[in-house]
Amino acid sequence: MAKLKVKFACTDCGTESPKWLGKCPGCGAWNTMVEEKETVVKTQGMGSSIIQTKEKPRPIIHIESGQEPRIETRLQELNRVLGGGVVPGSLILVGGDPGIGKSTLLLQTSHALASKGLKVLYISGEESVRQTRLRADRLGALTDKLYVLCETNMDQVNEAIEAVAPDFLVIDSIQTVYDPSVQSAPGSVSQVRECTAHFMRVAKIKGIATVLVGHVTKEGAIAGPRLLEHMVDCVLYFEGERHHSYRLLRAVKNRFGSTNEIGIFEMGESGLREVSNPSELFLSERPLGVSGSTVVASMEGTRPVLVELQALVATTNFPSPRRMSTGIDHNRMALIIAVLEKRMGMFLQTQDAYLNVAGGVKLDEPAVDLAAAVSIASSFRDAPTRPFDVIFGEIGLTGEVRAVARAEQRVKEAYKLGFKRVIMPEKSLKGWSPPSGIEIIGVETVSDALKAALG
C-alpha cells in the first residue's frame, strides 16, 4: 500500500514541517501553516511522455548563441513589458487582484497570436467554455486557431496539449489545476508547486510559451509558495484600482528583458485599450493654481512619464504628527521633510503631511525628491506653483540637488506636452542641448529650487 504522509506547509513561502507551528520558521508569518496529506507513490501519470527528454550535456562553446526569438503580439504595451515579445518556451506568471482584468488581457493576447497563425490553447479552470465564448464575443476575439478547454485535471490537460500541440498555452489559473497523484486539495502548496514544475518542463522541452495566472493574497503577493516566482521566467503584476478604468502591467522579474518597464491600459466595454501617451492620462484631471500640486518627470524603464504630485500640510493638535504617502516610499517622504526642517527652517513638527501620486502610479526613483519637496513647501506656505512647470531632481541630506539620469528625455517629454519651464539639477545640463521654446532652470540646492518654483 502507498504510504500516507502528513505534513504542515506554509501558504506564503512553502516551508514544510512535520508538526504544526504557530509561526513559520521560514518567513516568520503567523498562522500560515496548514495541514497537507499526500500519498507517496510512483505513477506513470502527469503525462510522462511529455516531460521525457534525451538531451545530453554539451560543452558550452558548442551551443549556438544569438538573440532569443520573440513572438510580437498586437499589444505593444505588453511587448514593451516582456522586452520585445513572447519568447517561445518561456514560462510567465501573471498575478493581480480579482476582477482586475487578467483573463481579459490574456484572451486578447491569445486572439492576437492566433490571428497571426499560431495555435493557442486557453485552459480555464474557473469559467466554462460558454463563459469564455461570451467574453470572446464582447472582445471580438474569435478565430479558429484559438482552442478553449475547461479542465482542472492535469492528466486531461496533458492530453489536450498533445492533441492540439499549441504554440501558446494559457492556464487560468494555476491554483485550480491539480495532479491526481498528489493527495492534497487543489490550490494547496504541494499541488501548486508540482503543477508549476510540470508546466515548466513542458514549456522548456516542447518549446511552448506558457502563461500561468496566479491568485494574489490580501497583501498583494501571488498566493502560494515563494518558490513559484523562482521557477518561472517572468513575473507580471496587473495592477490598478477597480473603480478606475486604467490598469498597469508591471514586471518584477524578467529573464529576457528589463524589469523597469510598465505597460498602461484602459479598461473599456470592448476590453483593454492601450494608452500610448500615459502622461496625458495622468495629467488630464490636474487642477491649476492650487497649492501643493506639482508635475514631476519620472522614468519608467525607457519611457518618460509626467505625473502629478499632490501634498497637503495641515496643522494637528496631536503631539505626534501624521506622515502618510501613497505612491512614494514613506521613508523617502520622512527624509524630505527632515531636509526641509533642518536646511530650510520649515517648522513641520506640528503639521500633518500627506503626499499622493495622482493616478495610482508608484514612483520608486530618487528623481522625484525635488518635486515632492516643492509640493510640501507649496502646501505649507499656501503658495501655488506655476501651472506649466515640471520639476525633477534628487535631494541629498545636506540640501543639495544631485544629478539624475536621462534628463534629456524628461525635458523632451515636458516640451512635447506643452510645458514652459523645467526646474532640474544644474549638473544634469551637461552634454546635451534643450529644445528651443522651453526654459531650463538649473538649481544646485533645495533653496534655489523653492525660490524658482514658489518665488
DSSP 228-262: HHHHSSEEEEEE--TTSSEEEEEEEEETTS-SS-E
Of 245, 276, 307, the residue at which a domain comes to its end is 276
Is position 48 within any domain?
no
| Domain total of the chain | 3
Does residue 250 share a domain with residue 210? yes
How many helices (H) and strands (E) would you count in the chain? Answer: 12, 21
Q: What local confidence, expressed as pLDDT, does residue 351 receive? A: 95
Residue 203's SS3 state is helix
Domain region containing 32: 1-41
Which among 257, 276, 295 is the end of a domain? 276
In a domain, 60, yes or no: no
Alpha-carbon gap, residue 119 to 170, rounded angstroms: 12
Helical (H) or strand (E) element with 445? none
Whether 202 maps to a domain, the answer reads: yes
On whether residue 188 sits in a domain, the answer given is: yes
395 is in an annotated binding site: no
Tens-digit pLDDT profile for the chain (455 aa)? 455 678 888 877 778 888 899 998 888 888 888 887 765 544 444 444 444 556 788 898 888 776 678 899 989 999 999 988 999 999 999 998 888 899 999 999 999 999 999 999 999 998 999 999 999 999 999 999 999 999 999 999 999 999 999 999 999 989 899 999 887 778 888 888 889 999 999 999 999 999 999 888 766 677 666 778 888 999 999 988 666 778 889 898 999 888 878 888 988 888 999 988 888 878 888 888 899 999 999 998 788 999 999 999 999 988 899 999 999 999 999 999 999 999 999 999 999 999 999 877 889 899 999 999 999 999 999 999 999 999 999 999 999 999 999 999 999 999 999 999 999 999 999 889 888 889 999 999 999 999 999 97
Q: Tell me, what CATH number does 425's domain have?
A: 3.30.230.10
In a 3-state reduction of DSSP, which class is residue 397? coil
367 and 271 co-located in one domain: no
- Tell me which H or E stretch contains 160: helix 154-164
Q: What is the pLDDT of residue 43?
A: 47
Are 271 and 285 members of one domain? no
Together in a domain, 270 and 383: no
246 and 325 part of one domain: no
How many CB atoms within 10 Å of residue 285? 9
- Confirm or deny that 97 is annotated as ligand binding: yes
* Shared domain check, 314 and 440: yes
- Please report the pLDDT score of residue 2 as a whole number: 52
pTM score, whole prediction: 0.76
Boundary of a domain, candidates 219, 245, 276: 276
> For residue 57, is it within any domain?
no
CATH number for the domain including 118? Answer: 3.40.50.300
Q: Is 100 annotated as a binding residue?
A: yes
* CA distance linking residue 195 with residue 184, whole number of Å: 12
The residue length of the chain stands at 455
Distances from the Cα of 267 to the Cα of 93, 241, 263, 287, 389, angstroms: 21, 11, 13, 24, 30
Q: Is residue 13 part of a domain?
A: yes
* Same domain for 306 and 172: no
For residue 327, being part of any structural domain is answered with yes
Cell numbers at residue 365, please? 526613483
Question: Is residue 247 domain-shared with residue 393, that is, in the same domain?
Answer: no
Identify which of 350, 311, 304 has the alpha carbon closest to the alpha carbon of residue 327: 311
Classify residue 49: in a domain, yes or no: no
For residues 83 and 27, state if they share a domain.
no
* Residue 430 in marked binding region: no
**Residues 236 and 291 both lie in one domain:** no
CA separation for the pair 265, 322 (Å, rounded): 34
Same domain, yes or no: 285 and 196: no
Residues 122 and 257 in one domain: yes
103 assigned to a ligand binding site: yes
